[in-house]
Structure 1
Amino acid sequence: MKRVKDAFDERAAALDGLLGVGRSFDMIGRTLRIGGRRARLWVVNGYADDTVLERAISAWLPIPSLEDVGTLQAFADRYVSVCDATVETDRLKAVTSVFAGKTLLIIDGFSGGVVLDAKQFPLRSVEEPDTSKVLRGSHDGFGESVMKNAALLRRRIRDSQLTLESLQVGTRSRTDVVLCYMENRVDRKLLDQLRKKLEAMDVGSTAMSQESVAEAIAPPQWWNPFPKTRYTERPDVAAASVLEGDILLMIDNTPAVMLLPCSLFRFLEEVNDYYFPPLVGTYLRIVRVIVLLLTLFVTPLWYLLVKSPDTLRQSLHFLLIEDEYYVPLILQLLLVEFIIDVLKLASLNTPDVLSNSFSMLGALILGDFAVQARWLVPEVLVYMAFVAIANYAQHSYEMGYAVKLCRMVLLLLIWLFDWWGFIGGILGILALIASTRPLIGKGYLYPLIPFNGKDLWALLHHRPIDRNNS
């Protein structure tokens, strides 16, 4: 009997060392006595649901004997009332479960341990994302708990075909990721491709959540600014995408859900399009396409026309600059591009109480004073102000910055080579888009290349609900 107790002591000491009992103040290890046998329980203090654990322990302590219990699974079946409870024989998986918020129980004389899901994460309330607001529709949003996010998705899709497949990625962080898809609508080839990429991930940590996962499974195209995936923090957008056959990738500790597959034309869609009648939604989508093209071409075209005023037609002379200036136009345009990004970064660190004052101060100093000092001309501020405002019509930050970088390169090419630079820049942007490789999918230009007329038409306009397939 003494040999068995020594084995239990060794198991408990080994688990204490792996879990950091004594090193970390929040790791709790408690010794109990269940049915006349020694037992030990581990839980992270910040995760523990005291009510559930107290009820479970209260049921174990009065057990008179475990002599008639042959296995740990039999103990769990008879005495564990927690809904999510499994017997785990792999020590590493058991340790990872504790770090994920679960409770581990081992009992003298039984191999393995019982893993109980008695956790309660610190969570913020379900609120609408700041960057995806709607006039009509639901005003909830995803949070940092993948379990809560799955519940928000289940609330909207009450179908047995909805599948949520759990995986763990990262050799150190062991982050929970969930593949969400409709069993009868998903493209099995794309699903297998994504699952293999996730299982083959060779990274130590996914501390940056969705960005870490995206970079780990993305093709090696660091020089290409165009986004390889789409994100959403809205449960209604995620549910609609799943029902259309897309794959969702939920990642624990982030409210951003990845929508796959991704193509360039999918960025034309926006949630507000679908909360209005089809005609209004189609109009909004057309406006968004026009604004996206203007943000890319308005300042390069203006600079190209005023760069050589002698060749400008009489009807376009209103574009010319009448005021005197000392800083070259190309430097003015690039300087304002830089200042806009500085203001964006500064606004992220500005307290809400001072945000209005900061906006007024930035507008006065960087606008009026810069013109009076003849660093900038009013025309540059007008065109760049339009570009800065119009850029917010694009709901994807990644796509907005891809357009911005392309616009800056286009300005430099025009400065160097005039019209030839403009033409070469457009061809280069088209080649860059065509060479973009998404995480999974049929291509970045699908459904244009390869051509699928039905899917392309569906993306270019807001279609009414298909009553036969809704």
Structure 2
Amino acid sequence: MDDQTHHSGNDGEKIPIVPTEVMNDAKREAHLKKRYAESSANTAEAVAYWLGKDEIPTNMKDLKKTLDEVMGLNLSFDIILREMVIGGKETGILFVNGLINADVTTLILNRLTLLSPEDLENHALNAIKNQYIPYVQVSETNKLSVAINESLTGQSAIFVEGEGRAIILDTRTYPSRSPDEPQIERVVRGSRDGFTETLLTNINLVRRRVRDPGLHCEIIKVGRRTQTDVGLVFIDDIVDRVQVEAIRDKIQKLDLEGLPLADKQLEEAIVNRGWHPYPLVRYSERPDVVASHLLEGRVVVMVDTSPSVMIMPTTFFDLCQHAEENRQTPFMGTYLRWIRFGGIFASMFLLPLWMLLVVHPELKPPLLEILGPQENAKLPIIMQFLIIEFGVDLMRLAAVHTPTPLSSAMGLIAAILIGDIAVKTGFFVNEVVLYMAVAAIGMFATPSYELGLANRAFRLVLLIAVALFGVKGFVIGTTLLILLLATHRSYNSSYLWPFIPFSAKSMGEVLLRKPLLYSRKRPSLNKTRDNSKMGPEMKPDGNEA
């Protein structure tokens, strides 16, 4: 090992890159001091820190020493640099064990071992790349940081002594599960495939349904350390390009350490919602739902390692719709939509309205005289509601963490031990438990989980406002909610569209699940370049003119 091999640090100081075990005490102390002082924010800074510049060394010894410091070549068991002699030249292939396709990599290496020195006399790297690698996805780089980052994504980097460049082979194969039906967006009839945690699989599931050459998927890397792949998906000749540019610009300007929690962190970073409880994007795990929104001119953002994707822009009424409505006849689809709207309304207003009529019985019309507790309880009505709200949330969290075989037992505990006994002991009245159950069902019937949680938070606020101020609290609270939603913007689109601003035609499509051939235009909210869904000669009866 040559102790005289040097490189330049950030301060220009020449420091030897040699293993600490062959250094004398002074050199080892200086080397460890430099190692502990490193605070690189990304791979390029780390390479420049240890090598002096972000280039691929022509000497294999310098390359191995730099890889040892930057990515723990001899420390991490899964970081592999397979060294070989190919055509008389020292060669190394860098990869992460477990993220590459071993069969493809072995086939390529078998072919390269057959090369002779005469085959690589001139421009060895070009000859290997252009003549002797029987593979499709091959690229080249002269930056060591790029080669390291690509290797960490599952690709392979081939280094050749004396070249100063590397060949990048896309030999990735990620551990993933099969596309199963999403748990939240189940349908009675329809496809059973859903998105997985692998970005490439998710894109292919969409392309299978939208075989349009205008379907574009741009990949943007986000995160200095995680280098997370974010896919921006849209149909080029339909979508509003101004909106695409705005979303792309926000993603590219992110200067974050990473996105370990995937799409949720990205949403907070690019939507800038702050403390607003209502979601500005629609999450979906169904490829057919995403394909239909792409055809409407929406923009879809996919994040690697997440089985859900974000659809933008979205409105309050978009979050109230479900795929099941379009899997039934228009009449039954409309019926199901109204039932769902009723459940959402009940989850927001049923409890405050009932408590308002209890506090002010003079407001009850004659037909509703039966409403109100028939007997008194030991706790005030508002305390009963708050305790049960807390209990429902506690049971919901417990259900998430409860193993499936024990879920039935937990349901019996909630229904019998908590609900029934609480009423019999006089702490709660029957109607409080009944209406709370109806409101909880309405919350869980909301297609968007995020919207259901936001509606529940509003219900709590409205309950407290009614308890404190009565009718004024209910009116002011409801008015503030409408103002809060009306001023909410989803990428310069009104959150309450088509109710505010009002559009009679679009509002009709929200309330009614129209037959396919009657829905001829794309939503005007999306500002699409092509707003027609079908040719002008297609009649609503299904026949051509």
Shorter chain as denominator, the TM-score bin is: over 0.9
2:198 to 145, 148, 157: 145
How much does 1:303 deviate?
0.3
Closer, same or farther in 2 for the Cα pair 1:313/1:284, shift >3 Å?
A: closer
Closer, same or farther in 2 for the Cα pair 1:102/1:322, shift >3 Å?
A: same
1:26 to 78, 81, 85: 78
SS of equivalent residue, structure 1 residue 156 = coil
Deviations 1:180-217 (A, max 9, x none): 11111010000000000000112111011110100111
1:190 partnered with 2:243: yes
Closer, same or farther in 2 for the Cα pair 1:110/1:458, shift >3 Å?
A: farther
Alignment check: 8 A CA contact 1:248 1:258 kept: yes
Mapped to 1, the partners of 2:423 and 2:161 lie a distance apart of 80
The match for 1:367 is: 419
Long gaps (5+) in structure 2? 6-55, 521-531, 535-545
Number of residue pairs matched by the alignment: 467
1:434 partnered with 2:486: yes
Closer, same or farther in 2 for the Cα pair 1:162/1:5, shift >3 Å?
A: closer
Closer, same or farther in 2 for the Cα pair 1:86/1:452, shift >3 Å?
A: farther
Alignment check: 8 A CA contact 1:82 1:118 kept: no
Matching residue's letter, 2:309: V
2:508 to 446, 457, 461: 457
1:200 partnered with 2:264: no
2:212 to 135, 140, 159: 159
How much does 1:444 deviate?
1.5
Mapped to 1, the partners of 2:503 and 2:432 lie a distance apart of 42
SS of equivalent residue, structure 2 residue 59 = helix
Closer, same or farther in 2 for the Cα pair 1:421/1:170, shift >3 Å?
A: same
SS of equivalent residue, structure 1 residue 301 = helix
Alignment check: 8 A CA contact 1:69 1:75 kept: no
The match for 2:470 is: 418
Deviations 1:360-396 (A, max 9, x none): 1111111011112211111100000111112122111
Closer, same or farther in 2 for the Cα pair 1:431/1:71, shift >3 Å?
A: farther
Matching residue's letter, 1:388: A
Matching residue's letter, 1:266: D
1:333 partnered with 2:397: no
1:225 partnered with 2:289: no
1:134 partnered with 2:198: no
Alignment check: 8 A CA contact 2:157 2:169 kept: yes
Deviations 1:46-103 (A, max 9, x none): 2121111110110111110243442634421212222211112222222111111111
| Range 454-463 or range 368-377, more displaced | 454-463
How much does 1:311 deviate?
6.0
How much does 1:313 deviate?
5.0
Extract structure 1 runs of 4+ deviating beyond 6 A.
Answer: 2-6
Closer, same or farther in 2 for the Cα pair 1:266/1:313, shift >3 Å?
A: closer
Q: What TM-score does the superposition give when structure 2 sets the normalisation length?
A: 0.82
1:76 partnered with 2:126: no
Long gaps (5+) in structure 1? none
1:237 to 272, 283, 289: 289
Alignment check: 8 A CA contact 1:16 1:29 kept: no
Closer, same or farther in 2 for the Cα pair 1:226/1:30, shift >3 Å?
A: same
Matching residue's letter, 2:125: L
Deviations 1:416-448 (A, max 9, x none): 11000010101111111122232x242212334
Closer, same or farther in 2 for the Cα pair 1:430/1:133, shift >3 Å?
A: same
1:262 to 306, 311, 314: 314
Matching residue's letter, 2:84: L
| Range 82-91 or range 370-379, more displaced | 82-91
